[in-house]
Amino acid sequence: MAMQHTRPGRVFTLRFIPPAQQTLLDSPEEHILKAVAPGRRANRYGREWIVGQTVLEVDGSSAPRVLTGRIGFQGESGTAEIWDDELQDFVPTAIPSGLTAPFAIDLVTLSAAMQPRGSVIKINSLIGAFEALLNADGERWRLEGLKRPMSLAEWKETVSKVVSVKFTIREPNPHYHGARDLEEIMNDFESEVIQLEARNEKKGINTQADFLLETEAHIGRGYGEGEYHGVRGEGSDAHETVYSTRVGAEEESEEVPVDPDTGEVPSDELRGVLAKAQLGENNDTHGQRVERPETDRPISR
The count of structural domains within the chain is: 2
pLDDT of residue 144: 86
Selection from 165, 141, 301 nearest residue 245 by Cα: 165
* Residue 242 pLDDT exceeds 70: yes
- Are 226 and 261 contained in the same domain? no
- Are 157 and 133 contained in the same domain? no
d(CA 3, CA 268): 23
Say which range, 59-63, 120-124, 127-131, has the weakest mean pLDDT.
59-63
DSSP state, residue 283: B
Q: CB count, 10 Å around CB of 86? A: 6
pLDDT in tens, 55-65: 998 876 666 68
pLDDT in tens, 67-92: 999 999 977 677 889 999 999 999 98
55 forms beta bridges with 68, 300
- Are 174 and 233 contained in the same domain? yes
Tell me what the mean pLDDT of segment 232-245 comes to.
82
Backbone angles phi, psi at 95, to 5 degrees: -115, 115
Q: Are 51 and 39 in contact (CB under 8 A)?
A: yes
Tell me what the mean pLDDT of segment 206-233 comes to.
92
- Are 21 and 42 contained in the same domain? yes
Instruction: Dump the DSSP string for 195-226.
Output: EEEEE-TTT---TT-HHHHHHHHHHHTTSEEE
- Are 204 and 191 contained in the same domain? yes
Collapsed DSSP state (helix, strand, coil) of residue 108: coil
Residue 105 is part of which domain span? 1-147+255-301
- Are 136 and 225 contained in the same domain? no
d(CA 129, CA 131): 5
pLDDT of residue 8: 84
Selection from 131, 129, 125 nearest residue 143 by Cα: 131
Q: Are 77 and 258 in contact (CB under 8 A)?
A: no
* Residue 290 pLDDT exceeds 60: no
* Residue 289 pLDDT exceeds 50: no
Q: Are 246 and 124 in contact (CB under 8 A)?
A: yes
Say which range, 41-45, 107-111, 239-243, 296-300, has the weakest mean pLDDT.
296-300
- Are 288 and 143 contained in the same domain? yes
CB-side exposure of 256: number of CA atoms within 13 Å? 27
Collapsed DSSP state (helix, strand, coil) of residue 186: helix
- Are 142 and 158 contained in the same domain? no
pLDDT of residue 31: 93
Share of the chain above pLDDT 90, in %: 49
- Are 82 and 156 contained in the same domain? no
Mean pLDDT for the chain overall: 84
* Residue 260 pLDDT exceeds 70: yes
- Are 141 and 161 contained in the same domain? no
pLDDT of residue 251: 72
Say which range, 13-27, 79-93, 261-275, has the weakest mean pLDDT.
13-27
**pTM here?**
0.70
- Are 230 and 297 contained in the same domain? no
Residues 6+ apart with CB under 8 A from 133: 35, 36, 40, 42, 49, 51
pLDDT of residue 196: 93
pLDDT of residue 23: 58
d(CA 201, CA 164): 7
Tell me what the mean pLDDT of segment 138-149 comes to.
84
* Residue 291 pLDDT exceeds 60: no
Q: pLDDT class for 22, splitting at 50, 70, 90? A: low
Q: CB count, 10 Å around CB of 95? A: 9
- Are 139 and 243 contained in the same domain? no
